[in-house]
A and B are shown apart, each in its own frame.
Chain A
Amino acid sequence: MRICCIARTALGAIMLSLVICPTVFAATSIAELAQTIKSVGDQGRGNAAAQAAVQELSRLDSTNLEPLLRHFRGASPLAANWLRSAFEAIADRSIKTSGKLPGPQLEAFILERDQSPRARRLAYEWLIKVDPSVTQRLIPRMLSDPSPEFRRDAVQQLIGQGTQLLEDEDTAGATTAFQRALTGAVDDDQVKAIVKSLKKLGQTVDLQTHFGFLAQWQIIGPFDNRELKGFATAYAPESKIELEKTLVGQLGDVAWQLIRTDDDYGTVDIAKQVKNYKGSVMYLTTDFVSDTPRKLELRLGTPNAWKLWVNKRLLFARQEYHRGAALDQYRVPVTLQKGRNVILLKICQNEQTQDWAQRYQVQIRMCNASGSGVLSAGSKTQANDTKN
């Protein structure tokens, strides 16, 4: 009898807690479901469990949108897509049935800069479907936001303001607007637009500094890459960099020599500045000094095959020739140590004879995850280092 009473009391307490604290129960469920999704891995690992989890998440109501967004933090790019699909399913249903979303909660979440940039942007893109006024409230504050897309919008607003001020012949105001826009601009189309306007206003921009291009190197070569065999051949610089040493190259003795580029976009043009050695390998090395250990990105663009080492660790290798080159063509995460970091680049030219296959060049920059240039400590300006 006593046991029955206790059991009934316990059951009643549980039922009461579910009524009083449904959000606590739902939050626990969201955490478990999100964790299942965040466990997806390579080769489709975890997909079956994630499929069940995302279906369950997708059935929740819109009060769970903001809690769901919080779980984007720490999610891999794959997992973020799964979580996104659940968010969109809930948000889509909510708008179709009620025309509403939990605006204040989503807006507050967007303003939390330490949350996942993608989650914040996702919240914003859905929120503006029901409340377009959010744009004017939030975007002007986002010039230095960790989210590249928010920054882009903020930069675009300032470009618009600067353009209007220029038309109104307020040159001082226009200059201020464009200079402010430049502090947040990381996309080349916007940078070009700003630079063009600033030039009209008599202002010059140091693009190498802005983007963080590595413009000064020691270079050695050529080494043999005929029949593309040099890509896999580990020539001496790959085991040790000795700047004072002469090595045996493809065409005789070779020595390290200084090479600098004045190109605004930091392109080291080996074909023009050295020679277009067909079927060859060149090595380039430079130091990057960091005040602290940190994770950044090396972004490079080249039409040639390449390998990249930092502090003797091979970060990436790619054997593709003459399929085009672009700014930020490749993004390579790098963990820098405090102090000196040695960067070694191997650039390979093939033996194609077509006129479109003669470029032998590389452009490489150090930046943070949002694309802002980061300079080596002690270089001419540290302005970019303080940006997000």
Chain B
Amino acid sequence: MKLFLIVCVMITAGVISTQAADWKQFRGNEANGISRETSVPTALSGEKIAWIAELPGRGLSGPIVVDNKVIVTCSSGFRQDRLHAICIDEKSGEQLWERQFWATGRTMCHNKMCVATPTPASDGKRVFAFYSSNDVACLDLEGNLLWYRGLASDFPNASNSLGMASSPVVVGDVLIVQVESDAEAFTVGLNAQDGTTRWKIDRVQRANWTSPTLLTAADPEQTRVVLQSSEGIDVVHPKTGVVEWSYDQGASTIPSSTAADGILYVPSNGLTALTRPQEGKAAKVLWQSAKLSPATPSPLSYDGRVFTLNRAGVLTAAAADSGEVTWQLRLRGPYSSTPVIGAGHLFAFNEKGFAQIVNLQGSKGKVVSELDFAETILCTPAIANGALFVRSDGHLWKLGQ
């Protein structure tokens, strides 16, 4: 009996370890840009590049890592109307499968963006690939199509001539997709099993490139989804879309909120820290700081601090409980991608493909490693299985083991 229990614990630990090693959506499993991995390459060099895979067309979407598979989306063709979902073996870098689809919605984008801008998401068994054309393809991990939705067919005016960028999140058996533009705006909860609409809520008609974030809790049933728009934030129940509480003092439409320890850090009036109200529906504001004003990259919260990157490429660290700035460090910008944090280090990739790693474990951040990838990098990287994954339009790199 004792041996049986030990075996069960070991199996469970192995499963948890495997699940924790995955990076299943934009900004990771908790949609906050933080990896719990303790062994991540913090000294970048050419020797650390485990493999490079070639990719077709264009793509700003970040890679995700599920069950030792790296999945990326791309878009190609003269009109960017070819949508790709590509699966690469995490260990070898060999392509396992590729599936293509034809865009059913509009594909016009700003030159800097492309149709494969939103990062895909996974629940561990399925991959949900979402594109600026408002196409959603659900595949299993072997590349078999499970379902397809063309949200533009249902909502023809939900598009943005500059392109759409919101990455979906999956909570339990619901895929939450934000589709917000000037002409039509909504968020849907799709049933992960078959792609039918479980709920839909109308949102303010204003172009919005932010992505949902998660307010996680020890009990997964208490996880809530944070939807951000120019009006502020709404915190909704993932199964019903019911708004439980809100903040209506406005927010940015580009960098997305982040959360840690039940506190939400919203790009609003600089940066605003919020928490759930004890009564009523209006969020409780803990602090606001105009000195913390994220540009395109979303803020991060880690180890009792919040971090923002501004337009000038200045990384600012502040106390998470007060917003008081503790240090600043000039990095080499400009940045589109949101940095990620793992093993006490922040990994930042600028638009020209120059990577800098900042050690956060001292009284002040310090750049400890740099590497020039010499290609435009706009995606937010992934950390999984002791490695770092980042892509440009034409390549996907693995750095690490």
Q: Could you list which residues of chain B lie within 8 angstroms of chain A, going by C-beta atoms? A: 77-78, 97, 99-102, 104, 106, 108, 110, 135, 137, 143-150, 153-154, 156-157, 160-162, 181-183, 190-191, 194-197, 205, 207
Contact = CB atoms under 8 A, between A and B. Distances in A.
Interface in A63-90: 76-78, 80-82, 84-86, 88-89
8 contacts: A44-B149, A44-B196, A45-B196, A47-B148, A77-B153, A81-B135, A92-B97, A324-B110
Contact of B99 (A55, A85, A325): A85
B183 A81 contact: no
Contact of A51 (B97, B146, B150): B146
Contact of A89 (B101, B108, B143): B143
A124 interface: no
Given A44-B197, A319-B182, A329-B108, A81 B147 contact: no
B78 A81 contact: no
Contacts of B197: 43-44
B106 to A, nearest CB: 8
A82 B154 contact: no
Contacts of B191: 44
A149 B77 CA distance: 9
A126 to B, nearest CB: 10
Contact of B101 (A40, A58, A84, A187): A84
B144 A58 contact: yes
Contacts of B190: 44
Contacts of B150: 77-78, 81
Contacts of B157: 317-318
Contact of A319 (B143, B154, B183): B183
Contacts of B195: 44, 47
Given A118-B102, A323-B161, A324-B162, A44 B144 contact: no
B101 A326 contact: no
B99 A88 contact: yes
Contacts of A45: 196
A250 B194 CA distance: 51
A321 interface: yes
B154 A320 contact: no
B196 A80 contact: no
Given A42-B153, A47-B196, A323 B100 contact: no
Contacts of B205: 319
A78 B196 contact: no
What are the nearest 3 A-B pairs in CB distance? A85-B145, A44-B196, A323-B161
B290 to A, nearest CB: 23
Contacts of B149: 44, 47, 78
Nearest to B200: A43
Contacts of A77: 102, 104, 150, 153
A118 B104 CA distance: 13
B162 A323 contact: yes
Interface in A321-375: 321, 323-326, 329-330
Contact of B147 (A43, A51, A187, A323): A51
Nearest to A76: B153
A182 interface: no
Contacts of A227: none
Contacts of A44: 147, 149, 190-191, 194-197
Given A44-B190, A81-B104, A319-B205, 13 more contacts: A47-B148, A51-B146, A55-B144, A58-B144, A77-B102, A81-B102, A81-B145, A89-B144, A187-B78, A319-B183, A320-B183, A323-B207, A325-B161
B100 A84 contact: yes
Nearest to B193: A48
A43 B160 CA distance: 21
A36 to B, nearest CB: 13
A258 to B, nearest CB: 30
A47 B110 CA distance: 32
Given A55-B144, A77-B153, A82-B145, A152 B78 contact: yes
B104 A47 contact: no
A80 B161 contact: no
Contact of B194 (A48, A76, A78): A48
A82 B194 CA distance: 13
Nearest to B140: A55
A354 to B, nearest CB: 15
A114 interface: no
A321 B182 contact: yes
A189 interface: yes
A106 to B, nearest CB: 17
Contacts of A215: none
Contacts of B110: 324
Interface in A8-53: 40, 42-45, 47-48, 50-51
B183 A189 contact: no
A215 B156 CA distance: 27
